[in-house]
């Protein structure tokens, strides 16, 4: 069967003559039989026309390949989606063009504000650490050592400083000078006192004692005479005296002070040989004193001139063979002791 061109079929359909019903339409005054015959005739013709139309539609239908159909369906869906997606995009673009959106950035903190805040933060941190430190036992746990003491014990020096176990390390470190002054004021035997702090909790008390000149005897008790001229308040029993010592038999405190200050200036090689000093005034010299030496010699010298005349003894003694008397009251001369 020959296939007809769809276009030709459409043209033939359009070119077919239409039914001329106007010429056979009965009038209103026609009989019922005429009207019935007309409708029957119209019905049959209309039925034939509809069948012819259906046949032409079937001939005009051209089947489309399945891939092409799928393609067309995909294209339709894509176009539909495109239209759907384009609408809000265009609307958003239009909105952005009409009213641009600007994201607000957080303003950074000013540099000067940060610089001003640093000292406050550091100060707060230091205060916090100090508070934490003071509530711990470590703030009072300290190690104390004493150096330079000869006659006083380390415990005595520590007690003189008035440092207690309840004192904070920081308090002692900040007031070290005051604690050292306590030692000097409490003991006449200390000439100098300093306290050195060593991190984290060590303290060293450095003391310098006055030079020991001799001992003063009062009521069978012995008291140390210091180079400062001060007399120690603590009495020493006779059994605690050293093997060799200088015994001062003076009663006037001012004379004792003057004697001690002058002997402190004389070389220790000479003063260590003095066994006893007594006051023996003469008609000429009221403060004439007699020094008994451990080598058997005797020196006569005014108390007020001991520091200037006594140093010559180290040269004079080189020529002495027998125990002699070195008279320094007026000038300096010597003579051998006479047996009593």
pLDDT digits (tens), the chain, 340 positions = 444 454 454 444 444 444 444 455 555 566 667 767 777 787 888 788 888 777 766 554 445 455 455 555 656 666 666 555 554 444 545 544 555 555 555 556 677 777 888 888 888 888 888 788 788 888 899 999 999 999 999 999 999 999 999 999 999 999 999 999 999 999 999 999 999 999 999 999 999 999 999 999 988 889 999 999 999 988 998 888 999 999 999 999 999 999 999 999 999 999 999 999 999 999 999 999 999 999 999 999 999 999 999 999 999 999 999 999 999 998 899 999 875 5
Write out the CATH class of domain 137-209: alpha beta
CATH architecture of residue range(s) 212-336: 3-Layer(aba) Sandwich (3.40)
Please give the model's pTM, rounded to 2 decimal places: 0.59
Contacts of 257 (CB under 8 A, 6+ apart): 229, 230
Token readout for 339 is 């047996």
For 182-250, the DSSP string reads: HHHHH-TTEEEEEEEEETTTEEEEEEEEPPEEEEEEETTEEEEEETTS-EEEEEE-GGGS-SS--EEE-
| Pairing relationship of beta strands 143-147 and 212-218 according to DSSP bridges | unpaired
User: Where does residue 314 fall: left (phi above 0), alpha (psi -120 to 50 degrees), or beta otherwise?
Assistant: alpha
How far does the chain reach from its first CA to its final CA, in angstroms?
188
Token readout for 273 is 């040989």
Token readout for 249 is 């038999």
Domain boundaries, the chain: 137-209, 212-336
Alpha-carbon dihedral 177, 179, 182, 183, rounded to 10 degrees:
-90
């Amino acid at each position: 069967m020959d296939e007809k061109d769809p276009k030709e079929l459409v043209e033939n359909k359009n070119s077919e003559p239409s039914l001329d019903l106007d010429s056979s339409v009965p009038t209103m005054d026609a009989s019922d039989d005429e009207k019935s015959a007309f409708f029957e005739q119209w019905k049959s013709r209309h039925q034939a026309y509809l069948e012819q139309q259906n046949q032409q539609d079937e001939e005009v239908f051209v089947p489309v390949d399945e891939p092409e159909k799928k393609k067309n369906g995909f294209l339709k869906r894509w176009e539909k989606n495109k239209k759907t997606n384009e609408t809000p995009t265009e609307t958003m673009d239009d909105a952005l063009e009409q009213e641009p959106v600007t994201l607000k950035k957080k303003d950074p903190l000013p540099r000067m504000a940060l610089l001003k805040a640093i000292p406050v933060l550091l100060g707060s941190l230091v205060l916090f650490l100090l508070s934490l430190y003071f509530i711990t036992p470590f703030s009072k746990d300290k190690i104390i050592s004493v150096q330079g003491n000869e006659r006083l014990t380390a415990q005595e020096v520590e007690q003189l400083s008035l440092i207690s176990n309840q004192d904070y390390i920081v308090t002692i470190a900040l007031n070290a000078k005051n604690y050292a002054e306590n030692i000097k004021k409490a003991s006449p035997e200390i000439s100098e006192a300093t306290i050195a702090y060593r991190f984290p909790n060590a303290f060293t008390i450095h003391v310098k004692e006055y030079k020991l000149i001799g001992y003063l005897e009062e009521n069978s008790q012995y008291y140390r005479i210091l180079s400062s001229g001060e007399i120690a308040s603590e009495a020493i029993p006779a059994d605690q005296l050293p093997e060799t010592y200088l015994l001062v038999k003076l009663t006037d405190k001012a004379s004792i002070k003057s004697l001690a200050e002058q002997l402190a200036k004389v070389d220790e090689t000479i003063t260590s040989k003095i066994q006893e000093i007594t006051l023996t005034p003469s008609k000429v010299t009221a403060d004439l004193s007699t020094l008994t030496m451990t080598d058997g010699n005797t020196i006569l010298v005014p108390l007020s001139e001991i520091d200037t005349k006594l140093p010559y003894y180290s040269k004079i003694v080189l020529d002495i063979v027998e125990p002699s008397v070195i008279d320094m009251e007026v000038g300096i001369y010597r003579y051998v002791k006479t047996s009593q």
